[in-house]
Amino acid sequence: VICHPKYQESKRIAIFLSMPDEIQTEDIIKDIFKQGKECFIPRYKPQSNHMDMLKLSSAEDISSLTLTSWNILQPSDDDSAREEALDGGGLDLIFMPGLGFDKKGNRLGRGKGYYDTYLERCMKHPSGKPYTIALAFKEQICELVPVAENDVQVDEILYEDC
């Protein structure tokens, strides 16, 4: 991941904080800060499909986050001091999680549409849609992933042996 040309050229990067069954992102987050890039992480709003990408100040900042009912670390709802990526310069790159992917770039998420809705908002931002890379295990690559009309394809899927 850290040798990828899109990662190397990106300055503002959004990345998920991994759950135990996902590709672990901690080392990528550490590298984002080591290289002087800006790092944004998701904050999901329950009972909706709204998500914001909020700025982390350091890799250690993760320890200040709260655990949601889904066992995901994220900034608390009353944390209004963090920059939302689209209120600033937008994003260059988004690393995306998922349950399954096909080689056409279709992604099966967890069913709430958070990333699809966020990418729609990105497309309205002056900086435009960021490049999207899904991080997957090779076992998550499927022949065909069912899609709805509002599903946004990922630009690239990185997985072992790809």
Question: How many domains, the chain?
Answer: 1
Q: Which has the higher per-residue pLDDT, 20 or 121? A: 121
> What CATH number does the domain containing 153 carry?
3.40.50.10420
For residue 31, give both structure tokens: 């590298």
The answer to whether 83 is annotated as binding is no
Q: What pLDDT does residue 47 have?
A: 84
Q: Which has the higher per-residue pLDDT, 25 or 162? A: 25
In terms of residue numbers, what domain contains 99?
5-159
For residue 140, give both structure tokens: 């998550």
The answer to whether 114 is annotated as binding is yes
Whole-structure pTM value = 0.95
The answer to whether 113 is annotated as binding is yes
The answer to whether 43 is annotated as binding is no
Mean pLDDT of 26-47: 95
| Token pair 């499909």: residue | 49
Q: What pLDDT does residue 149 have?
A: 85
162 pLDDT more than 80: no
Mean pLDDT of 23-50: 95
Q: What pLDDT does residue 13 have?
A: 98
Going across the sheet that includes 100-102, the strands are 107-108, 100-102, 141-142
Could you report the per-residue pLDDT of 106-161, keeping only the tens digit for each?
999 888 899 999 999 999 999 999 999 999 999 999 999 998 888 899 999 999 87
Q: What pLDDT does residue 159 have?
A: 92
The answer to whether 7 is annotated as binding is no
Q: What pLDDT does residue 150 have?
A: 84
Instruction: Say how many Å lie between the first and final Cα of the chain, rounded.
Output: 12
Could you report the per-residue pLDDT of 41-89, keeping only the tens digit for each?
999 988 889 999 999 999 999 999 998 888 889 999 888 899 999 999 9
SS3 sequence of 106-151: CEECCCCCHHHHHHHHHHCCCCCCCEEEEEECHHHEECCCCCCCCC
Instruction: Give the single-character DSSP code of 84.
Output: B
The answer to whether 108 is annotated as binding is yes
The answer to whether 109 is annotated as binding is yes
